Structure 1
Amino acid sequence: MPLCPGTPTPAHSTVTETHVITTTDLTKVYRSRGREVTALDGVDLHVREGEVYGVIGQSGAGKSSLIRCVNLLERPTSGTVTVAGQDLTALAGRGPRAGRELRQARSRIGMVFQHFNLLSSRTVQDNVELPLEILGKSGAERSRKARELLDLVGLADKAKAYPAQLSGGQKQRVGIARALAGDPKVLLSDEATSALDPETTRSILALLRDLNRQLGLTVLLITHEMDVVKSVCDSAALMENGRIVESGTVSELLATPGSELAAALFPLDGEASGEDRTVVDVTFQGESATQPVISQLARTYNIDISILGAAIDTVGGLQVGRMRIELPGRYEDNVVPIGFLREQGLQIDVPGHESALAKEGAK
């Protein structure tokens, strides 16, 4: 699992760990009119069983190509995709048997789309039943399963309604119910909340988290919104130009000096007021978020501390805060106060001095 350059391998990456989704050296090249566009450039992705994993990046970063390659809606140019121990790329042959095996494998992977993709001529219940029809289930079995799923997503009273009669959030709930029809162990979400208003987005994210916990679903979602990662993700990856440039659990990323994802989750502004001042970014997690550490620092070393910016929020159920402070003196003059902060269990990032901090942490 690649992290920032120089970042140690995460503690959770052990040989006994179960990865439900794995891509290895995944490449996707699109060819059109004699031109080649590389959407994925050697992507290695490892999603653990039972976690919500977010892939974030700007438009054109390769996120949609990645998620569509995970269930082989897009056939990779090279590399492998393994889901629940099955190599899907080995099933993507040209013959009818390979096609049938791939369809069976896909039936165990649910997919939620950005624009719902509901059939307007079918009722809500009929839309949910559609995958079960394709699987050849009986009418009674389809009806029972669809009603169960609609109840699960909070739409039991909308079974006979048509998509045009639903709000955007309700349509997405139908899409989620349909994605669960085949009892998948993996749920893929392709920008499922980007067309929704903020309040509806929060309700859909809460539903995905509830389903993750109740059903033991492994959820892989792509998004361009940091709030999505902050709200529901256990782990995350940042994509740029078809590559994963940073990945890990959210708590690891917040504890990684110089992490782009951590800075984006909790952006802090503020520059040093002079060359003889040191700017320090402090990350608090869990119990440390409520401790008066900064005032203790000021009293212990009798120094004046300026607070340039601060943010506090809940990430994955854990209270997390970041603060940018300014200390008098250059970095070399503040090694001891910075060490005091680290001894309190805080993550310390001194912009421009990450390498020095890494050396100190290794001692």
Structure 2
Amino acid sequence: MITTKDLTKVYRTRDREVTALDGVDLHVRDGEVFGVVGQSGAGKSSLIRCVNLLERPTAGTVTVDGQELTALTGNSKRAGKELRRARGRIGMVFQHFNLLSSRTVLGNVELPLEILGHSGQERTRKARELLDLVGLAEKAGSYPAQLSGGQKQRVGIARALAGDPKVLLSDEATSALDPETTRSVLQLLRDLNRQLGLTVLLITHEMEVVKAVCDSAALMKGGRITESGTVPELLATPGSELARELFPVGGVPSAPGRTVVDVTFHGETTTEPVISKLSRTYNVDISILGAAMDTVAGKQVGRMRIELPGSFEDNVVPIGFLREQGLTVEVAAVATPAAGAASEAGSRASGAASPDEDEAARAEESAK
């Protein structure tokens, strides 16, 4: 539904250039909720504004619903008729609502319908239907100043749906809301995705948003997408930074001669007593250093960091057992009798892998 190829955006001033997007390739499938995650300055907002051509890309292509929007821009700074028509199939929800304070809730939702040329009776009927859809039918005569933040965002969503779009873009739509209101707005977006068959592209810096509603996700850094995929795929990928961010677990070896392993549970494995089976089968004492469990895309997913006695070579068979149960397993740390837990923790904090980690990684690769 949404595809960008080698998308580049460079902002130029008199004395310098800033590259906000650096060759971004993105593919959002029809009917899915796709989240783009990253810190401030990663290029997320530039990306979403280039998708609907509010920002003209410096290079690359944007295709939405089979139509290449970048081919419609022409040489004029103003959008032509074909581009405006194409944008009509793309709804946009903003972080700060952007409601007109002088208009009622109904009038704000009617505004895009006025621009599209609908008659007064038709746009009132349509606007009331949309307000009912987002749960604000009784607020039609109220003004934005009389609404809560969550209600204002629901009006913004209703307004974005006025043109019957196939795609809904959300630029940090929940970042100004409290946690409870955020959950209700995210649930509304998920419900609209299912009821209307909308494809939703979410820009966010909150991992909880990805957990709550996203089918797929991408991580942006420095204007580039560093990894992307469906959420289950990412969680099953050893070394995935997004998976670590979604389910952070901590802990270092408690003593020399220990191996720390990160285990990801998904699907049926979340309800199986796999760790206790491992302990009984191989008569091994297992310490749980950290764990996180949550519902992602409607399915239970969890990560656990466990500690096994002995070196990696001593634990090849138990680690193999965990993989045979359908779990994703990644060696997080190895503490040798000589180095001890303290040196291991220090080397990991500095971002450098110890020689023992490198050796464990090579042994693990050969064990696969």
TM-score normalised over the length of structure 2: 0.91
Distance, in Å, in 2 between the alignment partners of 1:114 and 1:355 is: 46
Deviation at 1:332, TM superposition (A): 1.2
Deviation at 1:286, TM superposition (A): 2.3
Please state whether the residue corresponding to 1:294 is helix, strand or coil.
helix
Q: Does 1:308 align with 2:289?
A: yes
* Equivalent position of 2:124 in the other structure: 143
> Structure 2 residue aligned with 1:348, among 312, 323, 329?
329
357 and 247 in structure 1: CA distance in 2 versus 1, 3 angstrom threshold: farther
- Could you tell me whether the CA contact under 8 Å between 1:145 and 1:181 is conserved in 2? yes
96 and 221 in structure 1: CA distance in 2 versus 1, 3 angstrom threshold: closer
Q: Does 1:78 align with 2:59?
A: yes
Which amino acid is 1:331 matched to? F
Please state whether the residue corresponding to 1:82 is helix, strand or coil.
strand
Distance, in Å, in 2 between the alignment partners of 1:355 and 1:176 is: 51
Please state whether the residue corresponding to 1:34 is helix, strand or coil.
coil
> Structure 2 residue aligned with 1:266, among 221, 225, 247?
247
> Structure 1 residue aligned with 2:80, among 99, 113, 119?
99
Deviation at 1:216, TM superposition (A): 0.3
Matches within 5 A, 1:167-316: 167-316=148-297
- Could you tell me whether the CA contact under 8 Å between 1:258 and 1:354 is conserved in 2? no
Distance, in Å, in 1 between the alignment partners of 2:282 and 2:13 is: 64
Q: Deviations over 1:91-148 (max 9, x none)?
A: 1113599611111100100000000000000111110011111111111110111000
Distance, in Å, in 2 between the alignment partners of 1:85 and 1:328 is: 55
* Equivalent position of 2:338 in the other structure: none
Distance, in Å, in 1 between the alignment partners of 2:98 and 2:75 is: 27
Distance, in Å, in 2 between the alignment partners of 1:62 and 1:275 is: 43
Distance, in Å, in 1 between the alignment partners of 2:64 and 2:181 is: 30
358 and 160 in structure 1: CA distance in 2 versus 1, 3 angstrom threshold: farther
312 and 96 in structure 1: CA distance in 2 versus 1, 3 angstrom threshold: closer
Distance, in Å, in 2 between the alignment partners of 1:338 and 1:49 is: 38
Which amino acid is 1:303 matched to? V
359 and 145 in structure 1: CA distance in 2 versus 1, 3 angstrom threshold: farther
> Structure 2 residue aligned with 1:38, among 15, 19, 23?
19
Please state whether the residue corresponding to 2:55 is helix, strand or coil.
coil
Q: Does 1:50 align with 2:3?
A: no
Deviates more, 1:233-242 or 1:267-276: 267-276
* Equivalent position of 2:107 in the other structure: 126
157 and 75 in structure 1: CA distance in 2 versus 1, 3 angstrom threshold: same
RMSD across aligned C-alpha pairs, in angstroms? Answer: 1.4
Deviation at 1:310, TM superposition (A): 0.7
357 and 26 in structure 1: CA distance in 2 versus 1, 3 angstrom threshold: farther
Deviates more, 1:99-108 or 1:343-352: 343-352
Q: Does 1:330 align with 2:308?
A: no
Distance, in Å, in 2 between the alignment partners of 1:227 and 1:164 is: 29
Distance, in Å, in 2 between the alignment partners of 1:21 and 1:302 is: 52
- Could you tell me whether the CA contact under 8 Å between 1:349 and 1:357 is conserved in 2? no
> Structure 2 residue aligned with 1:162, among 143, 148, 154?
143
Distance, in Å, in 2 between the alignment partners of 1:85 and 1:184 is: 14
Q: Does 1:108 align with 2:86?
A: no
* Equivalent position of 1:13 in the other structure: none
Residue segments in structure 1 that go unaligned for 5+ positions in a row = 1-19
Which amino acid is 1:306 matched to? S
In the alignment of these two chains, the number of paired residues is 342
- Could you tell me whether the CA contact under 8 Å between 2:316 and 2:364 is conserved in 1? no
TM-score normalised over the length of structure 1: 0.92
Which amino acid is 1:335 matched to? V
Q: Deviations over 1:24-82 (max 9, x none)?
A: 00000000122000000000000000000000000000000000000000000000000
24 and 358 in structure 1: CA distance in 2 versus 1, 3 angstrom threshold: farther
